[in-house]
Amino acid sequence: MSIRHLMAVIRKEISHIIRDRYTLFLVLFSPTLLLVLMAYALSVDLKNIPIAVLDHDRSQLSGQFVGSITAGDDLDLFTFAEDLDEVEYLLESGDIKAAVIIAPDFSTKIRAGEGVPLQIIIDGTEPESGGFAVDQIGLRAEEFVTEKVFGGGQLGVQAQTIELVVLPWFNPSLKSRNDLIPGLLSIVLGLPAMLVALTISHEREHGTLEQLLATPVSRWEILLGKMTPYLIVGMANVVMIPILAIVWFGVPFNGSFGQFFILSAIFMFSILGMGLVVGVFMRTQSAALALSFLLIFFPGFFLTGIFFPIVSMPEIMRMESLAMPGTHYGIITRGVFLTGVGIEVLWPYVIMLFGLGVMFSFVAGLFFKKKLD
């Protein structure tokens, strides 16, 4: 392998990217743009869930109860419904996610200490919002009962119960943005890999691969040369994204930036290797595009444990997720950003990433030759 040959291929690839400003902009900034979009879209914590109240009691007590439910930020009173038909319509039209129905004997029963005749209806098609509403309403109802039925504070204090002290480490507010942004890095950095797949099949589609092979450049030099510009693109984003995450989204960064940079380079190597494999096997760009969506982009979302924990997946899926570079990188990014650990803890994942990278590149190099003969 000669440096001169390699540089020649790299120069050629770079000139493809910077040929026009539009392409340069898209290639360089699309990972960061995509991350910003997803950070806004995916990391919204539940609040302001609209609910309706059907109050059959219409007493002072039921009014107080409704006030206590909707006092916080969690639930918003959309409207007082007139009857059950209206509740049904509101749920069906999606205007509300849950409804509270207060029975006519609400205040009588509470005064008599006989319980709280209350019914909650939730929209089962949105279990997140619905479940959240149930939790909130249940909690308020409990407080209300404790206060009204069992005579308020004095009895409550005497009745010692279990206190649960929750101490979330590394992300005390449990804000989803704090761990989703580092997690999403592994998805958006997959974009350069998809582009590598496209450039290789691009040469074949245009018939320029023969020309390239007629030059004294070896296949390894071609592959490495194709990879390098996208490695640079990826690393530029590795610098831009944490800055944006810290300054704009307020995500903590507790680890070492130097280590993060190096570990990200290893991830880029392994995901770009995956891109090479796709590019080598596919004849046309559209086919390469289709396959890289199937192998790199979609699984990056669903199988790398960013949204759905790997431990909860079926056995086969767990095996598959181990073969995804994003799984290991997702653990690394969250470790560096939030836990503040470095290579001393993360080394097993680094080895996996490196191993996957070597394997992918090797497969790509091997079949690159075969496909040409």
Partner 1 sequence: MLRRVRALTVKEFIHLKNDWWLPAFMLFGGVLELLLVGWATSRPITNLPMMVMDLDHSPASRELIDKLNNSETFEVGSYVRDFDEIEHALIHGSISAGIVIPSGFGRNLVHQDQNTRVIAYINGAESIPARVSVSTLTGLIREWNGEIFLERFQVSEEVQADITPRLRIWFNQELSEAFYTVPAELGLMLEFTVLLFAALAFSREKELGTLEQLLVMPYSSIEIIIGKAIPVVIIGFVDFCLMLTMTHYVFDVPIRGSLLMLLTIAFGYLLVELGKGMVISVISKTQHQAFLLVLLVGMGDFMFTGYAAPVEAMPEVVQFFAKFIPAQHWLFILRGIMLKGSGLDVLWPSLAALAAIGAVILFFSLRFVRRSLE
Residues 26-65 touching partner 1, rule: CB under 8 A, are 26-27, 30, 33-34, 37-38, 40-50
Tokens of 86: 């209206």
Q: Which residue, among 279, 318, 282, 278, has the nearest Cα to 302 in the 3D structure?
A: 318
Residue 66 near partner 1 by CB under 8 A: no
* Interacting residue with partner 1 among 1, 3, 167, 247 (CB under 8 A): 167
Tell me how far, at minimum, the Cβ of 243 lies from partner 1, in Å. 20
Q: Cβ neighbours of residue 280 under 8 Å, at least 6 residues apart? A: 200, 364, 367, 368, 371
Selected range binding partner 1 among 25-33, 226-234, 241-249, 355-363, rule: CB under 8 A: 25-33
**Residue 170 dihedral angles phi and psi, to the nearest 5°:** 70, -20
Residue 366 near partner 1 by CB under 8 A: no
Residues 311-350 touching partner 1, rule: CB under 8 A, are 311-314, 317, 331, 334-335, 337-339, 341, 345
* Interacting residue with partner 1 among 6, 75, 81, 91 (CB under 8 A): 91
Q: Cβ neighbours of residue 43 under 8 Å, at least 6 residues apart? A: 175, 176, 177, 180, 181
Q: Which residue, among 131, 124, 118, has the nearest Cα to 75 in the 3D structure?
A: 131
Tell me how far, at minimum, the Cβ of 216 lies from partner 1, in Å. 28
Report the distance separating Cα 308 and Cα 109, nearest Å.
Answer: 44
Tell me how far, at minimum, the Cβ of 201 lies from partner 1, in Å. 9
**Minimum CB distance to partner 1 smaller for 20 or for 373:** 20
Tell me how far, at minimum, the Cβ of 258 lies from partner 1, in Å. 20
* Interacting residue with partner 1 among 80, 150, 248, 362 (CB under 8 A): 150
Tell me how far, at minimum, the Cβ of 321 lies from partner 1, in Å. 9
Answer for the pair 304, 321: CB distance below 8 angstroms, yes or no.
Answer: yes
Tell me how far, at minimum, the Cβ of 218 lies from partner 1, in Å. 26
Classify residue 47 by its DSSP letter: -
Residue 165 near partner 1 by CB under 8 A: yes
Tokens of 33: 């743009």
DSSP class per residue in 295-343: IIIHHHHHTSSSSS-GGGS-HHHHHHHHT-HHHHHHHHHHIIIII---H
Q: Which residue, among 277, 263, 217, has the nearest Cα to 9 in the 3D structure?
A: 217
Answer for the pair 278, 295: CB distance below 8 angstroms, yes or no.
Answer: yes
Tell me the HSE value of 292 on the side-chain side, using a 13 A CA sphere.
Answer: 31
Residue 115 near partner 1 by CB under 8 A: yes
**Minimum CB distance to partner 1 smaller for 5 or for 186:** 186
C-alpha pair distances (Å), 11 with each of 8, 23, 40, 196, 234: 5, 16, 37, 15, 17
Length of the chain: 373
Residue 214 near partner 1 by CB under 8 A: no
* Interacting residue with partner 1 among 126, 147, 244, 343 (CB under 8 A): 126
**Minimum CB distance to partner 1 smaller for 282 or for 350:** 282
**Minimum CB distance to partner 1 smaller for 215 or for 250:** 250
Q: How far apart are the first and last CA of the chain?
A: 21
**Residue 127 dihedral angles phi and psi, to the nearest 5°:** -60, -30
Residues 265-304 touching partner 1, rule: CB under 8 A, are 282-287, 289-291, 293-294, 298-299, 301-303
Report the distance separating Cα 262 and Cα 31, nearest Å.
Answer: 19
Residues 95-114 touching partner 1, rule: CB under 8 A, are 97, 100, 109, 113-114
Tell me how far, at minimum, the Cβ of 221 lies from partner 1, in Å. 22
Residue 128 near partner 1 by CB under 8 A: yes
Residue 175 near partner 1 by CB under 8 A: yes
**Minimum CB distance to partner 1 smaller for 225 or for 305:** 305
Tell me how far, at minimum, the Cβ of 4 lies from partner 1, in Å. 27
**Minimum CB distance to partner 1 smaller for 348 or for 355:** 348
**Minimum CB distance to partner 1 smaller for 191 or for 238:** 191
